[in-house]
Amino acid sequence: MLLQGQGTALITGASSRIGAAYAERLARRGYDLTLVARNRGRLDTLAARISDETGRATEVLPADLTHSQDLGRVEAVIKQDATLTMLVNNAGMGATAALLQSNVGKMTEMIALNVGALVRLVYAAAPVFATRGKGTIINISSIGAIAPEILNGVYAGTTAFVLALSRSLQHELGDKGLRVQAVLPGATSAGFWDTTGKPVRNLPAEIVMPVGEMVDAALAGLDLGELATIPSLPDIADWDAFETARQRLLSNLSHPHSAARYRKRPAHA
HSE, CB side, 13 Å, CA atoms: give it for residue 268: 0
Q: Which residues are catalytic?
A: 155
CB-based burial label for 259 (10 Å; 0-12, 13-18, 19+): exposed
Closest CA relative to residue 137, chosen from 177, 107, 191, 110: 177
Instruction: Give the angle subtended at the CA of 234 by the CAs of 228 and 236, to the nearest 5°.
Output: 45
Q: Which amino acid is at 11?
A: I
Strands ordered across the beta sheet of 8-12: 58-62, 32-37, 8-12, 84-89, 135-140, 178-183, 228-229
The H or E element spanning position 139 is strand 135-140
